[in-house]
Amino acid sequence: MKLDHKTIFVQENDVGHRLDVMLQHRLGISRNQIQEWIRKERVLVDGTSKRPAYRLKMGELITVDVEESELQQTLSPDPQVAFDVLFEAKDYVVIDKPGGITVHPKRIGSEATLVQGLIDRYPEMQNVVDKDAKQKSEGDPHLRPGIVHRLDRSVSGVMVVARTQKGFEHLKSQWKSRNVTKEYLALVYGHMPEEAGEIHSFIRRSRRHQLKMVSDRTAERGGKEALTTYTVQSTWPAYQLLKIQTHTVRMHQIRLHLSGLGHPIVGDLLYGAKQPSSGLQNRIFLHAHRLCFQDVDSSPREFIAELPSE
């Protein structure tokens, strides 16, 4: 029996969920099967056997030993994945991504993802791949067909996805040359030091916490340059709503920059936010509001996704 040793880190959206329920969604396998693995101690949390009803905590490491035959072997379309379409073109589609769903899987057999809903509605998208992905050690490009850029799982808002290889190459070149405008809305704790400001640092992955990024003032430790600008839109006694632009593309850039100023985004437990107050949705309050790029015919395009009602 050949076992596949899987490791899963508990993220902010998983905190408080049952162990068996979280694994059911992550692995796309029945809860009965998950519970059987737990009983056989093929599932461990930080090296310890737990009950199926165990409630997960932030940053815990789950290890699962499964047979290759027990996992789904293809990226299958999923009509149950819901999203709103803002605009359709021959070479791309612009959507409003809901919060709480991962854009694409890291490996076959993980939870339902946005890309599975996309290929259900646009089957031609399955043939659109990043031809440079293997050179950049980013894993299997066939697990993210058409994906030009990503939003974190808990982040909602506007995304453009390629329907053709021509559209993908055209859009990807704009991301590489930074000829794209990306504007976000974020609700933060407290009041920013200025009504408008610029945050500049060098971002790298944390050596202590695999889920987190860290920010340095210089590039000495190997961080990549990151630039974020913001303006205050609205103010309340305990919060401010910010309009934010990213001028670079770094993992967790906005979240890390705002947390570094002592004003974490509401709901962002990974970067220092408190548990949300009653009346606030239990997820990060970060929304991709506006996206501007050039169409395949070089005409300018602008798309806006309004804040969700939640």
Q: Which residues are catalytic?
A: 152
Residue 93 dihedral angles phi and psi, to the nearest 5° = -135, 140
Q: Which residues contact 231 (CB under 8 A, 6 or more apart)?
A: 195, 196, 242, 243
Q: Which of 309, 1, 3, 33 is nearest to 156 (CA)?
A: 309
CA distance linking residue 38 with residue 50, whole number of Å = 7
Cβ within 8 Å of residue 168, ≥6 positions away: 128, 129, 130, 146, 148, 162
- Cα–Cα distance between 251 and 21 in angstroms, integer? 27
First to last CA, the chain: 46
Contact between 60 and 36 (Cβ < 8 Å): no
**Strand 156-162, strand 286-294: pairing:** parallel
The whole-angstrom separation of Cα 253 and Cα 248 is 8
Whether the CB-CB separation of 140 and 132 falls below 8 Å is answered with no
